[in-house]
Structure 1
Amino acid sequence: MTDAEKLLWSKLRNKQILGLQFYRQKPLLNFIVDFYCSSVNLVIECDGSQHYTNEGLEADRVRDEALAQLGLRVLRFDNGQVLREIDGVVQVVYQFIQQESPLY
């Protein structure tokens, strides 16, 4: 895992967000997603610089579309954002879950 993934995992593991179980490095279709919560159909990705090239952006678009066809929603965060603003990233995840999954 990258430093950003390690930091975000430290906030997601052990059901720290709304009591939800997250998994890391979860295979879905022919992809391996960084973090996955089946209870709310959520994928979280930590993106390094390779994701911001034309090829990376297109690959992510195709991947996100395939995951969306499974009913999954994808949140993406830049590695630098995770490392500098972890509390804000966690807040975005928390708010997203509450807005998109009223049971939580």
Structure 2
Amino acid sequence: MGRKGSGMAVRPKTCRARRLRRDSTDAERLLWRALRELRLPVNVRRQHPIGPYVADFAVPACRLVIELDGGQHASAVEADAERTAALNARGYRVIRFWNNEVLGNLEGVLTVIVAEIGRSVGFPTSP
């Protein structure tokens, strides 16, 4: 699989990440917009491939992954724990929020994220 005329192969995870970005949930779109508006001193990546996984959001400079879980995740606790363990083994910290947390308490979610990033890069922890 490749880009037309580029001569470069596109990895399946990259294609999946692009599709996930295009088909993002309301909570993912809201959080992405809010994170961009904060103008953090680090790059936040949306639908970022890490090993066999695609993280909802990643801050590579801080080795931080931010995952948003919807209602379907209530029965996927074991799979989420396995995914978190695999990301931890790659050196990433993982923080998780429910979609309804993002939609109903965006300020609180941003406070937690900014505090996590602040611990890594040493900047004030209020959004």
TM-score (norm 2): 0.73
Segments of 4+ in structure 1 off by > 4 A?
Answer: none
3-state DSSP class of the match of 2:68? strand
Structure 1: gaps spanning 5 or more residues: none
Give the alignment's Cα RMSD to 1 decimal. 1.4
Q: State the match for 1:32 in structure 2.
A: 54
Greater share of residues in strand: 1
CA distance in 2, matches of 1:71, 1:27: 14
Q: 2:93 aligns with which of 63, 73, 81?
A: 73
Equivalent position amino acid for 1:13 in 2: R
Contact 2:62 2:121 in 1 (8 A): no
Q: Which has the higher contact order (CA 8 A, sep 6+)?
A: 1
Query: Within 2, Cα distance between the matches of 1:15 and 1:90?
Result: 9
Task: Return the match for 1:6 from 22, 29, 44.
Answer: 29
TM-score by length of 1: 0.89
Distance 1:14 1:36 in 2: 16
Provide the identity percentage.
Answer: 41
Contact 1:27 1:33 in 2 (8 A): yes
Larger radius of gyration: 2
State the secondary structure of the residue aligned to 1:36.
Answer: strand
